[in-house]
Structure 1
Amino acid sequence: MRHNRRVTATPTREHADEQSPNPVLASVVELARAAAQQEAGDEPVGAHAGILAEDEASVTHLFDAAHPGYDGWRWAVTIATVAPEEPVTVSEVVLLPGPQSLVAPDWVPWGERVRAGDLGVGDLLPTAPDDTRLAPGYLASDDPAVEEVAREVGLGRVRVLSRFGRQDSAKRWEGGEFGPRSDMARSAPANCGTCGFYQQIAGSLGAAFGVCANEIAPADGHVVNVGYGCGAHSEAEVDTGSQVPVAELVYDDSELEIES
């Protein structure tokens, strides 16, 4: 019989507790070990690590594996019999991760693993057709005047930001580095909403967001919340007065009058 070698999930303990293993099959340890050794080749098969009951006519014997790169894994040998008087046969031999094994994390599609800042020069990240951040835009017209108006109001694209997309962006920007709760904003003399360098963006997001146009400011060229602020506010003033208190009366100690 050919024994296939594959990697699969570790059997759960609940699976083993559903029923007691067949006592006849549970006792055939050496047959299972020989099958595991045949599959392991020159690598030694370790100690017997347990038994899992598959059903009334089959069990799985577990053996510690010494295969390089598979620390903590186990050989799982499933043996079965069709009837009490029939011979015991080997169904399959597989290599399984044990409870303490180092295994790869669950697979996550590439598109879901990409995070802000990962996209480099030349990289492409297509958006899904059903991306909830986007909504269908304005249908093209052959009237140049209509197209010009469409571009002015942001409708000359196949898709535009949906309401969810705008809310998602607003939440991310407000809680980011240039939001009203950042350390810089809390120590600023005033907020961006009163700054001459604050350029409000168009659309519904303009009520709360704009772009900083002050090259000295840390947010120059970035989207900022109206409640953000920094020390480069256009109306910031520095107190140039003396910081040393001066007494209202000044005495000249160089001359002393001595009464006779």
Structure 2
Amino acid sequence: MAEAISDRQVVAVLRPFVRGCGPMLDALRESDPFGLRERGKSELDDVEPSLRDKLLDGLTSVKVPGTAAWASMTVEERTHWWIHRVGRFTALVTSVPGLGGALADRLPIQDTLGAAAQGLLLCAIAGEHGVLDVGDRVRLIAWVLFDRDVDPVVAAGKHAGHDVSEEDASTEQLTEELDESKKKHGKVTIKASLGTLWRLGRSLLGIVEELEKRPRGRFYHRAIGMLPVVGMAGDYLGERSGLKRVAKRADAWFAGKR
């Protein structure tokens, strides 16, 4: 029987993961990720002023990070956006391995990408609740995904044996594509985001046994997921169901763990 994974091992994997999630989420939350404001200004320069103002007002009313409408949303509304809008996208990406049916399900691809997507969304939700500390986010993910109540001191990386330089190096590798995208394009591209999600997933292979504990779909989602081709649909629905369970568990953590 394999030796049980300790909380310290989980923390050693999750701290770089959480830090790697930060830059991608910050790019979405704090900037104009879809170029709505800048694109609108440049492309509407020749439009009659009163009409241009109406069009720009329309653009900024779209409820996405970086717009005026987003700034006016409540925490509950922003959480709903992260789960149901971004969640659909990450669930679709996660379900792609389902094209291979049972063969893909024998590999850790599904669980690593699924856990990465769930962890990323948990970091996003934490941000909307004002939880910015890496250790607190580690405890949130560990509790929601792995049913672990990690000691705050351990989660903060203040225990003996914690290697700060190793953590820094791991984080730098996870965010490498984001940094390159910013240097080359001045923003985080979709390609860089997808590449980073894949890197985040691979970083969780160190605790692959824990990934099987994460919230997932119903038994019938898994049954469909075993079939070739249509397995993608089953896996997609399963990941969507899992994300809803993640959101409910996160609510319980914020209500009772803070």
TM over 0.5: no
Higher RCO structure (Cα 8 Å, ≥6 apart): 2
TM-score normalised according to structure 1 size = 0.22
- Give the structure with the larger helix fraction: 2
TM-score normalised according to structure 2 size = 0.22
- Structure exhibiting the larger radius of gyration computed from Cα positions: 1
